[in-house]
Structure 1
Amino acid sequence: MTKRHAVVVGAGIGGLTAAVALHRRDWHVTVCERAPEPPATGAGIGLAPNALRALDTIGVDAAHAAGRAVPATMGLRRADGRWLTRADTADLTARYGVPPIAVPRPALTGALASALPPEALRYGTAVTAVDGSSGNPIVRTAVGRDLPADLVVAADGIHSPLRRAHFPAHPGLHYIGETAWRAVVDAPHLRIAAMSETWGRGQRFGVTPLSDGRLYLYATAVVPAGTRSADPRAELRRRFGSWHDPIPALLDHIDRLSPTDVLQNDLHDLAAPLPRLHHGRIAWLGDAAHAMAPNLGQGGCQAIEDAVVLAHLLPAGDGGGGSDAVPAALAAYSAARRNRTDAVRVRGRRVGRLGAIRNPLAAAARDLAVRATPARLALRGMDDLFNGFRLPR
C-alpha cells in the first residue's frame, strides 16, 4: 500500500520536528526549504520542560543530540546587577521533572535533520503555492517540480506566505515596539553559570549559557520599526556599556565579532489568532500559526508541541483510517492547539510590556512588585507553560 505523503514547508525547528514525528508514524515526508543549505551559524534556543517532554514522546533526546547546558540559576536583574527574582535549577527540576536546557539552533536542527532519510530534505526548494487544498493538495515549487501530497505542513515562518494566501482577511503581524539583537560569543573564562535577563527602562539584556560552552546573548530596545545603526556592536556598547558585570565584558567579546554576526530583528507577534490552524489539508504550526514575542522563551517550544500533537492526531502513514481521516485529524489539531498557543501569545505580549516600561517611576514600581513576589509563587506561575503539554486522547 502506498504511504501517505506529507510535504513540510520550512526546515526550521517546528518543520523538522513535524517531519521526524510523521516519519516515525510511517509517513513519506518531503521537507522543502528555500535556503540553499542548513544553517552553519545562528543564535541559541532555550528548551523548556514542556518542549523536552514533547521531543521525548517522538524519541528525540535533545540533551543527548544537541548537548546539555543546565544553568545553576535563572532570574531577572536590574541594570545595577541586583537580582529581582531567581530560581535554582534544582527547584525547577524538582517541580517539573527535568531542567530547561539551552542549545545552539544549528545543533538542534542538525540533530532533527539527521533523524530523517537524506532524500527527505530538499534545500534550495522554495514553495510558491499550494493548490487544491480542499482535496489532495499540489505543492508548487520554484524549481519547477510539483509535489502531490496528502498533507501540507506550513512551517514557513513568521512571514508565512501560505498563511497570507489562505487567510487573506487576517490582519497579519503586529510590531510590538521593540527591536532585538542576538549574538553568540565564546567566553569560558567569565564562568557564567546563570541564565539571566536584566531589565532597564525600555531596554533588556539576556545571557544564556549554551550546551557547547558558548554564551547566547540578546538585547532589546524600544525603538520605531526599522531602526538600524551603522554598526550594531557600537549601538549595543552605547546602550548597555554601563550596565552591571559581566555585561561590559560580554560586549568586549561582541566587539570581536563581525557586524554580520550580530543579528537584529524587529519583534512582531500575530495581531490576532487565526480562525483555525488548518485549511483543507494544510496545517500551520509555529511562527506561521501563532507568531509570538520571545518574552517567555516559548516560541520554539510551542512549535515543537504543535508538531508532536499534529503527528499524534494524524493517522499512520500506511493508509489506514480511510480518506476522511486526515481532514478530521486536522480539525482535531486546531481544537487541541489554538487556545493554548493563543494564550501563550497574549501572555508573551503582556510580559513584554512590563520589560519595555520606560517611565522611571513605573519601572521602579515594576521592579518592586517583582521583588516582592515570593519565589514559590513566581515558580508556580510557570506551571501552565512547563506542565501544559498533553497529547490529546
Structure 2
Amino acid sequence: MRGLAVVAGGGVAGLALARGLVAGGWDVEVHERAAGPPATGSTLGMWPHAVAALHRLGLDDLLSARAVLAARGELLRTDGRVLASLAPRGDVRFVDRPDLLAALADGLPAGVVRWSSPLAADALDDALERADVLVGADGLRSVVRPRVAHARPRPPHQVAVRGAARGGVDRLAETWGRGRIFGTTARADGDTNVYAAFAAALASPAEREDPLGLLRRLYAGWHEGVTATVERLRPETLDVRELHDLPPLPAYARGRAALVGDAAHAMAPNLGRGACEALVDAVALADRLLAAPDVASALAAYDAERRGPTRRVVRASRALSRISGSTRGAPARDAAAALAGRVARAATAGARGHRDVR
C-alpha cells in the first residue's frame, strides 16, 4: 500500500517513520516545531532491537562511524564500591542524539521535513482530509494523542540533569545514593555523557536555574569518579527537566490516526529504552503500512504488535525510577541497586530477543 502520511513531530520516531515510508514509495510530510536539527544533545543507548531497527533503516554508516560499542558497566555506591557489574548482551551502542537525528533526516527528499511548522490541534481535521494516515510523533504532550486516547502525563517525582563533560570514559558507570543517581557513558566525540536524576524535593525550582551549582551540592562527598566529573562538566551543555511518563493507553491507533514514541508511551529514562522503543515503533508502523492492503488493517496490526511490549517497558522503567529515587537507608538502597542490575541485564536480554523488527 502507498499513500500520504502526515506526521506531527520530527524527533527520533517521526524521522525514522518518514525514512521507512519514503523508502517504500509513500509521500510524507513531517511537521516539526524546531527550526532545524539540534546541534547538541545527550547520548542515547541503543539496545539490540534498536540497533536492528537502525540497520533496517539503512543507517549502517552511523553505527560504524558515530556509535560507541557498550562493552561493560557498573553500578556503584557513593563511596565507589561496586554493587553490580553489567555486561551487555548482544550489540549495544551509544549514539549522540544530534548524530542520530541528522542521519535519519539525511537523504529524505526536500520538503519532507517542514521545520518551524508544528502541527496545531486545530489543523488536524485538515490533515486527516488530505492524508491517508495521521501520525502523532510529537512527544509527551502530543496534540494527536486525543484523537486516539485520552491520557495526561503523570506528575514527576524526579528531576534529571543531562550534559557532557570534557574527557572520556571507557565504561558505563552509575552511582546510587539516597534519592539520587549519577551516571556516565562514552560519547563518540571523546567526551563523557553525563546524566543525573534526583528526587524533585531535593531541589527547588530556583536551584534548578543553576544546574552546575546544584550538582556540586547534591553530589558533594561522593566518590572521586562523580565529583571529578562534575568539575569537568561543560555548563553550556546542561539541560534540566522534570521526568514525566504516561499511564498505559488503551490503544495506539484509532481510525486513521496512530501514535509512536513518547506520544504513545513516554517513560522514565532509567532503562534507557525511550529512543529505542521509538525507533522500533517507527519501523513496525512503516512495515505494516507498506505491507497491508489498507490503513485500518495496518494500524490494527501495529497496535497489536507494539502496545504490549512497550507497556511492559514503561512499567519496568517506572519501577526502577522509584527505586533509584528512594530516600531509604543504605542497606535497602544497596539491595535495590543490586536488584536493578539484574533487571537491567534482563532488559538487555529481552531487547536482544525482541520480535518487533523483522
Normalising by structure 2, we get a TM-score of: 0.91
- The one-letter amino acid paired with 1:102 is F
Structure 1 counterpart of 2:164: 184
- The 3-state SS of whatever aligns with 1:46 is strand
Matches within 5 A, 1:57-68: 57-61=56-60, 63-64=62-63, 67-68=66-67
Deviations 1:344-389 (A, max 9, x none): 10111111111111121xx4134146558997x9734532233224
In 1, distance between residues paired with 2:139 and 2:147? 14
Q: Does 1:246 align with 2:225?
A: yes
CA drift of 1:291 comes to: 0.7
Q: Choose which of 257, 275, 278 in structure 1 pairs with 2:235.
A: 257
Give the 3-state SS of the residue equivalent to 1:102 in structure 2.
Answer: strand
1:156 is matched with 138
Aligned pair 1:196/2:159, yes or no? no
Match of 2:288 in 1: 313
Which residue of the partner structure matches residue 143 of structure 1? Answer: none
Correspondence for 1:211 = 188
The 8 Å contact of residues 15 and 104 in structure 2, kept in 1 or not, is answered as yes
Instruction: Detail structure 1 runs of 4+ shifted over 4 Å in the superposition.
Output: 369-375
Give the letter for the 2:135 counterpart.
V
Structure 1 portions without partners, runs of 5+: 141-146
- Write the distance in 2 (CA, Å) between the matches of 1:291 and 1:107: 22
Of 109, 114, 131, the residue aligned with 2:101 is 109
Tell me by how many angstroms 1:115 deviates.
3.0
Task: Report whether the alignment pairs 1:364 with 2:342.
Answer: no
Query: Does the aligned pair in 1 maintain the 2:28–2:112 contact within 8 Å?
Result: yes
Equivalenced residue count is 356
Identify the residue that residue 242 of structure 2 maps to in structure 1: 266
Q: Note the C-alpha offset of 1:211.
A: 1.7
2:313 partner SS: helix
CA deviation map 1:118-143 (0-9, x unaligned): 221110111113767xxxx6329xxx
Cα distance change, pair 373–68 in 1 and its aligned pair in 2 (3 A): closer
Deviation of the 1:64 alpha carbon: 3.5
**Aligned residue number for residue 221 of structure 1:** 198
Which moved further from structure 2: 380-389 or 229-238? 380-389
Q: Please list the CA deviations of residues 82-105 of structure 1 after superposition, one character each: whole Å capped at 9, or x if unmatched.
A: 1111134xxx3xx42x2x111211
Task: Say which SS state the counterpart of residue 183 (structure 1) adopts.
Answer: strand
**DSSP 3-state at the match of 2:38:** coil
Q: State the partner residue of 2:116.
A: 124
Decide whether the 8 Å contact of 1:104 with 1:211 is kept in 2.
Answer: yes
Contact 2:5 2:29 in 1 (8 A): yes
Mapping 1:93-104, distance limit 5 Å: 95-96=89-90, 98=91, 100-104=92-96
- Give the % identical residues: 37
The worse-fitting range, judged by mean Cα deviation, of 112-121 and 337-346 is 112-121
8 Å CA contact retained: 1:62, 1:108: no
The answer to whether 1:287 aligns with 2:257 is no
Distance 1:330 1:226 in 2: 43
CA distance in 2, matches of 1:286, 1:369: 28
Whole-angstrom CA distance in 2 between matches of 1:217 and 1:163: 31
TM-score, normalised via structure 1 length = 0.84
**CA separation of 1:3/1:351 partners in 2, compared to 1, >3 Å: closer, same or farther?**
closer
Q: Deviations over 1:301-342 (max 9, x none)?
A: 0011100111111136xxx83xxx111110111111111111
Distance 1:105 1:66 in 2: 14
Larger radius of gyration: 1
d(CA) in 2 for partners of 1:347, 1:246: 28
3-state secondary structure, aligned to 1:79: coil
Counterpart residue number, 1:47: 46
Q: Aligned residue for 2:352?
A: 386
Q: In the aligned structure 1, how far is the partner of 2:146 from the partner of 2:170?
A: 42
Structure-2 separation of matches of 1:157 and 1:311: 18
What is the distance in 2 between the residues matched to 1:62 and 1:153?
28
8 Å Cα contact 1:292-1:299 kept in structure 2? yes
Tell me, in whole angstroms, the C-alpha distance in 2 between the residues paired with 1:373 and 1:165. 36
1:39 positional shift: 0.9
